[in-house]
Structure 1
Amino acid sequence: MNLREVVRQRKLLLQNGVLEKLASLPAAQALEVLLEAEKKAEESRQIVITLETIDGVLSEKNQGKKIAQAPVEVETQDAAQAQAQAAAETPSAPMKILSFKKYDCDGTVEDFVSHFRNRFAKLSSMLKNRVSAANGVTSIEQAKSSVERRKSRIIGMVENKSITKKGNLRFEIEDETGVMTCVAQQNKPAMEKAQELWLDDVVGVDGIYSQGLFLVENVVWPEVPVRQKKLAQTDEDVSIAFLSDLHVGSKYFLEDRFEKALGFFNGVGTEEEKEIAKSIRYVLIAGDMVDGIGVYPSQEKQLVTKNVFEQYSLLAQYLKKIPGRMQIAICPGNHDAVRDAEPQPPLPSEFVQELEQDNIHFIPNPCWLEIMGLKILVYHGTSFDALVSNTQKLGDAFEHPEKVAVEMLRRRHLCPTYGEKPIIPSPEDGMVIEEAPDIFHFGHVHKNASFDYNGTVIINSGAWQGETDYQKSMGRKPTPCLMPVYNLRTGVLKILDFNEESEGQKRGKA
């Protein structure tokens, strides 16, 4: 992002000559000076950033002063010693980033049509590969013209859903050939399944066509297949640490406990903790790196700094303390400096320049990774709130977020109902879960959870932010500072608690 774009986005007023003076500096220095000048102007209640303010900032820098930042103290050995140790250790095996497509559109009718056709094609193909009804899959057009009361399976996208006067559940599904009205009768086994339907689900419906209605006998979703949990083929212990929802910049960010985690990464702890830390080769972070600005009303009252660039600068000071032998993948969340609509692109370089190093990778949201033969789906989880409201079955999902992940895997889609969460109507639907992940990692709800579902290990990595005013008002209790660490060789998941110091951590401070 150039200086003019920064000035425009931040709605800054500059005295004539300020932009030209900044343009004569190196890009990174110019941005730093501009942000410090903005801060000084706010402190002195200046409406316009003047040349005098810019000169004052430059003068301070020339005298060796630095822009104030909160120091990051890690309970570990000297930083230089830690870097030397990291360099001496065996580097990680390559982490393959499999998601590289850009999802954009013009918002035309054609874009929406292409988007839903693509979703339908992908999900209907999965359904056709499953064991079908006795007479096979039939198009809606064929079902309507078939012999009366002939059993068949039709596949379609759910359009409408309502309860009739008789208490039956009536819904419509659509494929490329037409629309079918389906009825699940009250007190029949199919009724319970039909109640779980969400708008825009792509499902298979077994039943009988009679007198203009399709009488439902069963409903099937694309589903992830049942399979054995996959393990890495290696003789050594190799682990992944999972993080999410740091919210750096919030006054509720639990800095001291995150510093304990950084100390753990660098070998501070009990002998068991040191062995676990030694095995960690990958750190996957599922979004909400910073608290952002303007995400919700009155947020500024809960921020340590209102400058999003400074929030990312503080984030960098923390993450750069993670040993260089660990590969770090960072996806954005709804608090980060990216567009709201998903799929979201990686964090823009202008915000994370300080984190540009070989072991840090910025990935989109959602993103597929491959590590030692295991396919990993990383998704922040912003659709969670909307999905919970879709069914009574998920009434306790804020206490058990793994339940929502299971529904995503059943439906093979991260946000099935269009319009409940901003989604880019790109020609290809990037929210379809195209293959069964070995690990599904998400965040957003600040509640730790794990569950093995049909061979997929589901992990929600909680948060590093304490209970907020909003969470208190909603009666939601977060579980901060619990770090899941998954051993790829053994398939064992351990949850490390950084809310209390271990004996090894206490010794590390002495």
Structure 2
Amino acid sequence: MPLETPARIVRALVSRGYNAEREAVTLIAGSDDPGNTLARVVETVPDDALRITADHVREVLASAPAADPSGTASQSAAASDPSVSGAVSGDSTTHAGQNTPSEAKGSPTGRNTDQSVRSLDIANDMTGQSTGTGEYDDFVKVFRDRYAKLSKMLRGRVNHRPTKALSNMSGGEDAELIGLVDDVRSTKSGHWIIDLEDTTGTFPCLVMKDKGIASYVDDLLLDECIAVEGTLSGDGGILFVDSMHFPDVPRSYRPNTADRHVQAALISDVHVGSQEFMADAWNRFAEWLHTEEAEHIEYLLIAGDMVEGVGIYPNQDEELDVIDIYDQYEVFSEHLKSVPGDIDIVMIPGNHDAVRLAEPQPGFDDELRDIMSVHDAQITSNPSMVTLEGVKILMYHGVSLDEVIAELPSEKASYDEPHKAMYQLLKKRHVAPQFGGHTRLAPEELDYLVMEDVPDIFHTGHVHKLGWGKYHNVLAVNSGCWQAQTDFQKSVNIDPDSGYAPIVDLDTLNMTVRKFS
């Protein structure tokens, strides 16, 4: 195997039970004979070392013998493409608070590194596709696209007539309408009036308080798309609603699964740079990934907030361990190096990351991508649909969960059960329906926040609470965080679930949760 790329050098080191500093990998790749250099580095590394350092590589390069014309050393180091990663010695652990075993140099876990059997595709990445300028026409375009996509999902359930056509109909006729929720208000009698807007205008719809569908009104968010059926009033000026429909995930939905036993770890909200970043828990997690117990984990998905950021909330600087934002990403990258190099990593940004706050959030700029280039991690926008071996995983950081939890009844959405708030987004087929509230939304020509395809797994973070469940056979997972409670969180009564790693079997969509704090 030629070692012309850093990724292959990382895999070769991992197969021998080592991680390596980014600079060390760069030095090996830049040497005259990378294969020979790697072989001599492994041969001379101290017995108790688990990580190859740049200083060690420099020592090897400084003491390099004359080049061997036969290339024997290079051939021995590059004879084959490694297919396994480093393993651990001793007993493995599955429970919180127990010590994870140390990595055993050169003992393979059996993780399958054959890229021909792996499959990773990313859709809906809007990085580099932003067209919005903030002009009025941009907002019109994004809402027209939202309406077009969501109304298409509902047209099979109702015979939609535009609001302009309804205005010309006679009183007492049956009518059906699809529209975005423009306003919801109650009457003096306790009934509900919902103004629905389509591309031709707005029409009022009345939901009587004694109707079974009255409970649906509590679930509504402004700007979401719904369909209603009913009868026009005598003067034709209002629609009396008999039934209400949401885009929703079909109850008959059957999720996709992988053809082999392979796992993905779903995490979020690492918050490197915070004084409360749980480095010890992260290290236990990374060490565990090197064990035989984790040999089937071939993918790591990180749903935003890699770092704590700067200026996110009042007096944040008093809680920072690393002040400079670029230094925070450098430290995060160092922690990422402890993850086995043969695990494919996908990352999206969050509201603490150094990208625009308005959603959809494009992936990081080139400077930050260079800093976070460890293991050739794939960086995409927030949100993005990531398909692993046929399993569709919608990754969304989750800022709109604050909105959903604030607006809906506690039994429908709460911080203690964040997956229930995720159910509401699945029901609405949009990750951030309400415009103008807590969630900043960017006007684009396309609405990248619509769930055009039903995901098999919906993965979020942001709220620092662990929760999971299934909604119409879609697995919804909020993966907690890697940050202990900050003073700011105390002030707003956030008690985080820290140091958890949900592990999903992609062949069955069964999930286990491991705690490392």
Structure-2 change in CA distance of 1:352 and 1:150 (3 Å): same
Query: Deviations along 1:378-406, whole A, 9 cap, x unmatched?
Result: 00001111222222246751000011111
CA distance in 2, matches of 1:473, 1:88: 46
Does the aligned pair in 1 maintain the 2:119–2:390 contact within 8 Å? no
1:341 to 337, 358, 365: 358
CA distance in 1, matches of 2:135, 2:226: 27
1:76 to 102, 115, 138: 102
Does the aligned pair in 2 maintain the 1:380–1:443 contact within 8 Å? yes
**Following TM superposition, by how much is the alpha carbon of 1:137 offset from its aligned partner in structure 2, in angstroms?**
2.3
Query: Deviations along 1:248-276, whole A, 9 cap, x unmatched?
Result: 11111111111000001111xxxxxx33x
1:251 to 275, 286, 300: 275
1:119 to 122, 143, 146: 146
Letter in 2 for 1:126: M
For residues 21-100 of structure 1, what are the structure 2 equivalents within 5 Å? 76-77=102-103, 81=106, 89-91=113-115, 93-100=118-125
**Following TM superposition, by how much is the alpha carbon of 1:446 offset from its aligned partner in structure 2, in angstroms?**
0.8
Q: Which moved more, 1:167-176 or 1:399-408?
A: 167-176
CA distance in 1, matches of 2:410, 2:164: 33
2:380 to 355, 363, 369: 363
SS at match of 2:213: helix
Higher helix share: 1
Letter in 1 for 2:121: K
Aligned residue pairs: how many?
416
Q: Which moved more, 1:288-297 or 1:387-396?
A: 387-396
CA distance in 1, matches of 2:172, 2:395: 45
Does the aligned pair in 2 maintain the 1:443–1:461 contact within 8 Å? yes
TM-score by length of 2: 0.76
**Following TM superposition, by how much is the alpha carbon of 1:483 offset from its aligned partner in structure 2, in angstroms?**
0.8
Structure-2 change in CA distance of 1:203 and 1:493 (3 Å): same
2:134 to 71, 91, 107: 107
SS at match of 1:392: coil
**Following TM superposition, by how much is the alpha carbon of 1:169 offset from its aligned partner in structure 2, in angstroms?**
1.0
CA distance in 2, matches of 1:443, 1:324: 24
Query: Deviations along 1:318-366, whole A, 9 cap, x unmatched?
Result: 1112112210001110001111111111122312423324541111100
For residues 304-383 of structure 1, what are the structure 2 equivalents within 5 Å? 304-357=321-374, 359-383=376-400
RMSD: 2.4
Match of 2:212 in 1: 189
Match of 1:3 in 2: none
CA distance in 1, matches of 2:230, 2:131: 39
Structure-2 change in CA distance of 1:122 and 1:368 (3 Å): same
Identity %: 32
Does the aligned pair in 1 maintain the 2:429–2:450 contact within 8 Å? yes
1:141 to 160, 164, 178: 164
Match of 1:167 in 2: 190
Query: Deviations along 1:123-162, whole A, 9 cap, x unmatched?
Result: 1111113x33xxx322222223234222221011111121
5+ long unaligned stretches in structure 2: 1-25, 27-58, 60-99
**Following TM superposition, by how much is the alpha carbon of 1:90 offset from its aligned partner in structure 2, in angstroms?**
3.5
CA distance in 1, matches of 2:217, 2:399: 25
Does the aligned pair in 2 maintain the 1:90–1:325 contact within 8 Å? no
Match of 1:386 in 2: 403
**Following TM superposition, by how much is the alpha carbon of 1:89 offset from its aligned partner in structure 2, in angstroms?**
4.4
1:155 to 178, 191, 194: 178
Structure-2 change in CA distance of 1:332 and 1:250 (3 Å): same
SS at match of 1:189: coil
Does the aligned pair in 2 maintain the 1:378–1:441 contact within 8 Å? yes
Letter in 1 for 2:250: P
Does the aligned pair in 2 maintain the 1:346–1:363 contact within 8 Å? yes
1:215 to 240, 244, 247: 240
Structure-2 change in CA distance of 1:215 and 1:489 (3 Å): same
**Following TM superposition, by how much is the alpha carbon of 1:497 offset from its aligned partner in structure 2, in angstroms?**
1.5
Match of 2:470 in 1: 452
Does the aligned pair in 1 maintain the 2:383–2:397 contact within 8 Å? yes
**Following TM superposition, by how much is the alpha carbon of 1:196 offset from its aligned partner in structure 2, in angstroms?**
2.2
Structure-2 change in CA distance of 1:395 and 1:203 (3 Å): closer
CA distance in 1, matches of 2:258, 2:317: 49
Does the aligned pair in 2 maintain the 1:103–1:430 contact within 8 Å? no
CA distance in 2, matches of 1:414, 1:474: 24
CA distance in 2, matches of 1:362, 1:460: 20
**Following TM superposition, by how much is the alpha carbon of 1:228 offset from its aligned partner in structure 2, in angstroms?**
4.8
2:497 to 473, 479, 483: 479
Could you list the structure 1 runs, at least 4 aligned residues long, displaced by more than 3 angstroms after superposition: 84-92, 393-396
Query: Deviations along 1:199-231, whole A, 9 cap, x unmatched?
Result: 111110111111211111122111111235434
5+ long unaligned stretches in structure 1: 1-27, 29-63, 65-73, 268-273, 500-510
**Aligned pair 1:226/2:251, yes or no?**
yes
Does the aligned pair in 2 maintain the 1:332–1:338 contact within 8 Å? yes
CA distance in 2, matches of 1:87, 1:349: 31
Structure-2 change in CA distance of 1:220 and 1:393 (3 Å): farther
SS at match of 2:368: coil
**Following TM superposition, by how much is the alpha carbon of 1:88 offset from its aligned partner in structure 2, in angstroms?**
8.4
Q: Which moved more, 1:142-151 or 1:365-374?
A: 142-151
Structure-2 change in CA distance of 1:365 and 1:307 (3 Å): same
Match of 1:279 in 2: 296
Letter in 2 for 1:417: Q
For residues 293-304 of structure 1, what are the structure 2 equivalents within 5 Å? 293-304=310-321
CA distance in 1, matches of 2:109, 2:478: 31
